[in-house]
Structure 1
């Protein structure tokens, strides 16, 4: 495995933007920017022997900061923080103290606020080797969150075609944290609608959402519903083709256990993407709101042309005492691991 540092021509907030390329001896190539910790390329050999990029993005970094892209911002390939998904009314209490966050989607907070970790320039830590470690220090009060939070994210590409994401964070005062990665995947050789991908998730429950997609705290059994992915099925087999999927699934697992979150295959490429995580839930999103012009090779990306599996803690858990806590205290270390493993069927 090798890592290569590439300087771009871009400077944001006085910091240079770099790309880091990770490669292994199976022909797999991953490119990551220190802006937003964006995975911009994830190129693998498919079952036909061809190199295929399985994530949506741009050929050049400038696409990620283009005004048109930011106006319909889908968080392509970025890390999400401080808090993934939605927080009701942008409010929470810790130890009796109330906090008001930025309300960037109606009255709620989405993906950390107006400018989350997805649009920050991360520091590249020394000892660049077969892995890459990025660090971001989020100051107290950023988007309304308490505490100085130091986050490190390590990317490692293995010889077994696993891309491992290891997260670690510490705080100097109690705060809320829920990190995830927002990769948009398409395993088909020519892209397009992902309804013909076969998908499986070991999740017996999904979480109820209100009209603004905020999790309410109620768990609903998947049995007998379109949300039942306990056995493999085509994504489009019984979905609402106007809505697709945008739900959080509670994984059948023990807390902290590194187990399968999802398994997705596609016939034309013969590829299988297995995602493993220590996190308790995975948000499955089929990109209803995707609208991106001039993506890779000039392609436009539209609704249902990708799927996301966002491994995380329960959304809005900071307001739902019954959910596993997302409060991090001084002296504690936040840790999570998510693995993207590529194989042939």
Structure 2
């Protein structure tokens, strides 16, 4: 009887201990941080594009392809803790090859517009591809968004993807052989850090950015109800072709005042404002009040319904806000139709048409110098 009692007691103790050691069957395993490479698609000439899935321990995932550096998908939690895709993209690799309205790629050599598709540097005029009427936009007809980049994945708690590309002298009309590296790093705090560097062997102009379209609702609604703040007291008015006039205008008293959080859709259709008419909404560059090259908070976006809150930090002097004014029913991922104003872009950058505007911060890069720019998009709930 004593032996039975001792055996029973020992069994109970072991059972309790083993219960602590084993997770409950319904307890989800913690996500593993790291990076995974899979085939994204094959070009007609046999080259392959890869898809890299970056994952942190919190459960955020970001998928990036080395074709154009596109951010293909990006999940972030809502106020209930549900992770959903918050970025516009296409269903398959073949759709990216056909061309997209810049749904998430690296933009270069020069993000945004250059007037009359030409500029002068050191006394020489350079003629670029005119791919938006008479102007040049986003690097030309075959910009960085249409190049196959060399990829190097780096694993760890903060996985990273290093992409490199060399743009040859004369490509799209730009001077100099430009060696570019873009590093995407998924941080522990649910932030994606994008760091750009470039060097050249001849004086040139450089203005790199990413053209992600954010939809914080998880593709359920347009962006008109979002609350937006931009730390900028000024913006750049444009002419009718959306080339900056050269003026730097205060936002106070205009539809462009987001110095305090304001609803995106509140003034977006105010056609009494000629600038709203020119852009068919917001498609302008804001000038940050903090003109330093430090990494600083530039803007915040909040979707009141999902609770998703995005902070944008950058070393750049400005940001182009674009509210997807020209999306018109594009069929995207999961069969979702991207209607007008279904996304919001915050393209950190130097100012549009800087090569032709001496009063704007210079975008000239010379041999021996290194172009360096950092932008961080951080997600939380609020």
User: Quick check: TM above 0.5?
Assistant: yes
Between stretches 44-53 and 194-203, larger displacement belongs to 44-53
Report the counterpart of residue 221 of structure 2 in structure 1: 192
Report the counterpart of residue 4 of structure 2 in structure 1: none
Report the counterpart of residue 106 of structure 1 in structure 2: 133
Provide Cα deviations, 1:120-147, integer angstroms capped at 9, x if missing partner.
1100136555211000110011110000
Q: Secondary structure at the match of 1:209?
A: coil
Report the counterpart of residue 281 of structure 1 in structure 2: 318
Q: CA RMSD in A?
A: 1.5
Residues 85 and 219, structure 2, Cα contact 8 Å, conserved in 1: no
TM-score normalised by the chain length of structure 1: 0.95
Evaluate the alpha carbon distance shift between residue 12 and residue 20 of structure 1 in structure 2; reply closer, same or farther with a 3 A threshold.
farther
Report the counterpart of residue 38 of structure 2 in structure 1: 6
Q: Distance in 2 between matches of 1:121 and 1:291?
A: 28
Q: Secondary structure at the match of 1:249?
A: strand
Aligned positions of 1:285-304 closer than 5 A: 285-304=322-341
Q: CA deviation at 1:156?
A: 0.4
Q: Distance in 2 between matches of 1:255 and 1:8?
A: 39
Q: Secondary structure at the match of 2:51?
A: strand
Q: Secondary structure at the match of 1:195?
A: coil
Q: Secondary structure at the match of 1:322?
A: coil
Q: Which has the higher helix share?
A: 2
Report the counterpart of residue 63 of structure 2 in structure 1: 31
Aligned positions of 1:165-314 closer than 5 A: 165-240=194-269, 243-314=280-351
Provide Cα deviations, 1:144-202, integer angstroms capped at 9, x if missing partner.
00000010000000111110000000000000110110000011145322110000001
Q: Secondary structure at the match of 1:62?
A: helix
Report the counterpart of residue 13 of structure 2 in structure 1: none
Report the counterpart of residue 373 of structure 2 in structure 1: 336
Q: Distance in 2 between matches of 1:293 and 1:54?
A: 16
Q: Distance in 1 between matches of 2:321 and 2:362?
A: 21
Q: CA deviation at 1:268?
A: 1.6
Q: Secondary structure at the match of 2:334?
A: helix
Q: CA deviation at 1:48?
A: 1.2
Residues 40 and 65, structure 2, Cα contact 8 Å, conserved in 1: no
Between stretches 335-344 and 123-132, larger displacement belongs to 123-132
Residues 189 and 268, structure 1, Cα contact 8 Å, conserved in 2: no
Higher Rg of the two aligned structures: 2
Residues 244 and 304, structure 1, Cα contact 8 Å, conserved in 2: no
Q: CA deviation at 1:244?
A: 2.1
Residues 248 and 283, structure 1, Cα contact 8 Å, conserved in 2: yes
Evaluate the alpha carbon distance shift between residue 196 and residue 156 of structure 1 in structure 2; reply closer, same or farther with a 3 A threshold.
same
Evaluate the alpha carbon distance shift between residue 190 and residue 208 of structure 1 in structure 2; reply closer, same or farther with a 3 A threshold.
closer
Report the counterpart of residue 47 of structure 2 in structure 1: 15
Provide Cα deviations, 1:78-97, integer angstroms capped at 9, x if missing partner.
11100011101111111111
Q: CA deviation at 1:14?
A: 5.1
Q: Distance in 2 between matches of 1:287 and 1:170?
A: 32
Report the counterpart of residue 193 of structure 2 in structure 1: 164
Q: CA deviation at 1:63?
A: 2.1
Question: Is residue 2:177 matched to residue 1:148?
Answer: yes
Q: Secondary structure at the match of 1:184?
A: coil
Q: Distance in 2 between matches of 1:214 and 1:282?
A: 15
| Alignment gaps of 5+ in structure 1 | none
Q: CA deviation at 1:299?
A: 1.3
Which residue of 86, 92, 96 maps to 1:64? 96
